[in-house]
Amino acid sequence: MCLSTGHSGGVEQTIFSTDDLFARGMGPKEIRAMIGRGVLTRLRKGWYADLGAADSDAAVALKAGAHLGCLSGCKAHGIWVPPSSGVHAAYGRGASTKARTGLVLHPYKAKQPRTAIWPVEDCLAQVIERHDAETILIVVESAVSAKVIPHEMAEQMLKQTPIGDLTRWLSRARSGSETRVRLFFQRRHVPVHPLATVLGVGEVDMVVGDRLLVECDSERHHGSPEAQLNDSLRDLNGHLLDYQRIRLTYDQIWHDWAATQVSLSAVLRKRRHIHRLRPSRATTPEGRSRAAVLAERHTQRRRMHSLGFDEDLRDFL
């Protein structure tokens, strides 16, 4: 069986064990011939890579006597992981390893796997063994969000970690950024409602306290003109409904987190998150608040203008 480790420049990067090559009908003579022609590269005893995979992270790990695992293994399995330096690899019982620049090596209790990358359950277990609570929760929640593991398995993994039971912190998140920001507030004993739907605004990443809406933006999902227009409309509607709103960028969350935490702490000190919503005395016959009606009308006006209706719309809305 061959293992795909990704693509680079359109070339499939593939790593083979000796058993993989034997299963393809190749013997020692054919393997030596392919190495001689430069089709295969020997990584270590029993492991080979084709031309596209010779410098992949999995190949680097194998050259060191280990297998791609921990954070790097999770990433290879389709799980989002925090930005980190170096390649993470784990080696099983009885393995002989050698240090390599840029490679983070972890010992692991199991036998060496028969694949270039540790199975996903082992990769997650290695993260839980070696990293802090925040990193563990980010990776496990990302695995659930990506449907790599079910929620029940995540709970089981978090029950017994080296730093205690983390199941009470497990929640819903669509990104690691949301997990990091949510944990910031939860660790300060501030109520957080993740992935909440706010009437008149729509779904938000989280509601902090009573009235603080926090969005964790990324260029991928919020960089288009349409997305920016939608965000502006939602922000204005939230303001009309007496909500406070904060938008955090990827860089603020991952590259300037220390300064971002200082700013968020200042918001909490000013109690921007706990002022109760003031119910409007002016309501419609249906019992809707005047603020909700104004927010809906504003959205309708913007949509009609986008369709080319430039005349005064006050008589229609």
User: Cα separation of 2 and 20, whole Å?
Assistant: 6
26 token code pair? 């190749």
Q: Report, as an integer, the average pLDDT of 219-236.
A: 63
Q: Provide the mean pLDDT of the chain.
A: 82
Grade residue 143 by pLDDT with cuts at 50, 70 and 90.
very high
Q: Are 241 and 200 in contact (CB under 8 A)?
A: yes
Nearest to 315 by CA among 297, 303, 299, 302: 297
214: pLDDT strictly greater than 80: yes
Q: 38-93: per-residue pLDDT in tens?
A: 899 999 999 999 888 888 999 999 999 999 999 999 999 999 999 977 799 999 99
- DSSP state letters, 111-150: PPPSSSB--HHHHHHHHHHHS-HHHHHHHHHHHHHTTSS-
Evaluate whether 269 touches 262 at the Cβ level (below 8 Å). Answer: no
Higher-scoring residue by pLDDT: 211, 300: 211
Instruction: Work out the average pLDDT over 8-14.
Output: 44
Per-residue pLDDT, averaged over 181-201, amounts to 91
pTM for the model stands at 0.77
Question: Of 168-177, 212-221, 254-263, 305-314, where does mean pLDDT reach its minimum?
Answer: 305-314
pLDDT digits (tens, 9 = 90+) for 147-164: 999 999 999 999 989 999
pLDDT band at 274 (very low <50, low <70, confident <90, very high): confident
Q: Please give the average per-residue pLDDT across 6-30, as a whole number.
A: 75
Q: What domains lie within the chain, and their CATH numbers?
A: 1-55 (no CATH), 67-170 (no CATH), 173-317 (3.40.960.10)
DSSP 275: P
